[in-house]
């Protein structure tokens, strides 16, 4: 009898090999918006802790060269997932690119006015007669007129210095500009390191100019072909972000393990700690990461239409540019 039972067990096991073998992981590429820096740390934490592997995803993270090329790569299938500026995703979609966002990570804008604290600029009236450094044509300068309007200022009340990102930094560091348009988890830290002086950041969102920022972008073709891959990716990414909120240092350490030359550890930690509060707005405080509010997304589309040249028809259907159905329940 014992031999018969053993034989039956053996027969069952070998007649159903699928039960003894796991499905091979799905290879996928996540293309970032830029060279690796603190904002990208959650994805590396997710890799290190096996969150993507547990969802059956063999994920490769690649550095990017800007949001526009990242969106293009996703649209043409070179990358499965992209991490890019939501404005670039929306603009590409209105121009016919088959792309959509499956979640917005930076729901609060990182855009800010940044300058040395010793200049004494804390409220809009302090800016009159001062010098502002900006880069013409970038996303910050596009909403600059709206920011001035919200602050009750006119551009002719200020002196504007134009230049690229490094020129803006140098202008503030060398005292040629009182403020620059920048991102509150990056340029402020660079200025502080270069000068050894306290830096003040005044977020655009303090004045009602809150343009949603970095998001996950995928192609419509990928969603049609393998919607389960999108669900698994967003589940792992959500876990990674939640873990980052609890332990930013661990996320930075995971990033540095993969990219040792990404930057100085403490500066990366400081940058990530300034980034984490941008994951939620007041409306989504009790929601999981990536779950942007409909009002926030619609307001951002309206701003992009008015100030960034996005087709006006986009305001009538902002829901077409994103979907939350692939987020974990």
Residue 182 sits in the same domain as residue 226: no
User: Which domain range does residue 118 map to?
Assistant: 111-207
100 & 246 share domain: yes
Evaluate if residue 10 carries a pLDDT over 80: no
Q: How confident is the model at residue 329 (pLDDT cuts 50, 70, 90)?
A: confident
User: Last residue of a domain, which of 188, 207, 226?
Assistant: 207
* Domain membership flag for residue 13: no
More confident residue, 309 or 317: 317
Residue 200 shares a structural domain with residue 260:
no
Condensed to tens digits (0 to 9), the pLDDT of residues 89-131 reads: 999 999 999 999 999 999 999 999 999 999 999 988 899 999 9
Predicted confidence (pLDDT) per residue in 202-228, tens digit: 999 999 999 999 999 999 999 999 999
Work out how many domains the chain is built from and give that number. 2
pLDDT in tens, 146-184: 999 999 999 999 999 999 989 999 999 999 999 999 999
Same domain, 179 and 219: no
Given a cut of 70, is residue 1 above it in pLDDT?
no
Do 159 and 216 sit in the same domain of this protein?
A: no
Is 105:290 a contact under the CB 8 Å cutoff? Answer: yes
- Given a cut of 60, is residue 5 above it in pLDDT? no
* Residue 4 lies inside a defined structural domain of this protein: no
Residue 15 falls within a domain, yes or no?
no
115/199 same-domain check: yes
Pair (282, 195) in one structural domain: no
pLDDT(13) > 90? no
Q: Is residue 242 part of a domain?
A: yes
Q: Is the pTM of this model over 0.95?
A: no
In this structure, the answer to whether residues 199 and 104 fall within a common structural domain is: no
CATH code of residue 124: 3.40.190.10
Residue after which a domain boundary falls, among 207, 233, 254: 207
Q: DSSP states of 158-202 as a string?
A: SEEEE--HHHHHHHHHTTS-SEEEEETTTHHHHHHHHH-S-EEEE
Q: Do both 128 and 71 map to the same domain?
A: no
Residues 103, 119 share a domain: no
Determine the average pLDDT of the residues in 192-207.
95
Do 118 and 102 sit in the same domain of this protein?
Answer: no
Contact 267, 189 (CB under 8 A): yes
The continuous run of DSSP H or E covering 60 comes out as strand 57-62
The answer on 201 and 233 residing in a single domain is: no
1 inside domain:
no
Residue 132: inside a domain, yes or no?
A: yes
- SS3 string, the chain, reads CHHHHHHHHHHHHHHCHHHCCCCCCEEEEEECCCCCCHHHHHHHHHHHCCHHHHCCEEEEEECCCCHHHHHHHHHCCCCCEEEEEHHHHHHHHHCCCCEEEEEECCCCCCEEEEEEHHHCCCCHHHHCCCEEEECCCCHHHHCHHHHHHHHCCCHHHCEEEECCHHHHHHHHHCCCCCEEEEECCCHHHHHHHHHCCCEEEEEHHHHCCCCCCEEEEEEHHHHHHCHHHHHHHHHHHHHHHHHHHHCHHHHHHHHHHHCCCCCCHHHHHHHHHHHHHHHCCHHHCCCCCECCCHHHHHHHHHHHHHHCCCCHHHHHCHHHHECCCCCCC
Please say if the pLDDT value at position 14 is more than 70.
Answer: no
The last residue of one of the domains, among 189, 207, 225, is 207
Give 266-292 pLDDT, tens digit per residue: 999 999 999 999 999 999 999 999 999
For 52-81, what is each residue's pLDDT tens digit?
999 999 999 999 999 999 999 999 999 999
pLDDT score of 2: 47
pLDDT, residue 23, reads: 81
Over residues 235-254, the mean pLDDT reads 98
6 is a domain residue: no
With respect to residue 5, please indicate whether it lies within any of the assigned structural domains: no
């Amino acid at each position: 009898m014992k031999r018969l039972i053993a034989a039956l067990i053996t027969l069952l096991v070998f007649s159903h090999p699928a039960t003894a073998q796991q499905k091979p992981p799905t290879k996928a590429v996540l293309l970032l918006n830029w060279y690796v820096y603190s904002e990208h740390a959650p994805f590396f934490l997710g890799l290190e802790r096996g969150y993507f592997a547990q969802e059956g995803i063999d994920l490769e993270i690649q550095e990017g060269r800007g949001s526009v090329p990242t969106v293009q790569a996703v649209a043409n299938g070179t990358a499965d997932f992209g991490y890019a500026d939501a404005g670039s995703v929306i603009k590409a979609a209105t121009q016919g690119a088959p792309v959509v966002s499956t979640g917005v990570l930076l729901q609060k804008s990182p855009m800010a006015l940044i300058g040395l604290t010793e200049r004494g600029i804390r409220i809009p009236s302090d800016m009159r007669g001062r010098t502002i450094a900006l880069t013409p044509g970038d996303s910050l300068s596009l909403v600059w007129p709206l920011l001035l309007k919200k602050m009750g200022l006119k551009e002719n009340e200020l002196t504007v210095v134009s230049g690229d990102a490094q020129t803006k930094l140098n202008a503030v560091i060398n005292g040629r500009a009182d403020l620059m348009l920048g991102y509150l988890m990056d340029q402020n830290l660079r200025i502080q390191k270069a000068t050894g002086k306290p830096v003040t950041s005044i977020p655009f969102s303090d004045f009602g100019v809150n343009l949603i920022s970095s998001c996950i972008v995928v192609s419509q073709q990928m969603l049609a072909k393998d919607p389960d891959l999108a669900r698994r990716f967003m589940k792992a990414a959500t876990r990674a972000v939640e873990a980052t909120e609890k332990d930013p240092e661990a996320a930075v350490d995971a990033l540095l393990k993969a990219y040792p030359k990404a930057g100085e550890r403490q500066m990366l930690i400081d940058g990530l700690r300034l980034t984490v509060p941008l994951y939620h707005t007041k409306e989504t405080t009790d929601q999981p990461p990536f779950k942007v509010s409909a009002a926030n997304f619609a307001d951002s589309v309206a701003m992009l239409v008015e100030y960034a040249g996005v087709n006006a028809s986009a305001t009538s259907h902002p829901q077409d540019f994103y979907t939350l159905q692939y987020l974990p329940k």
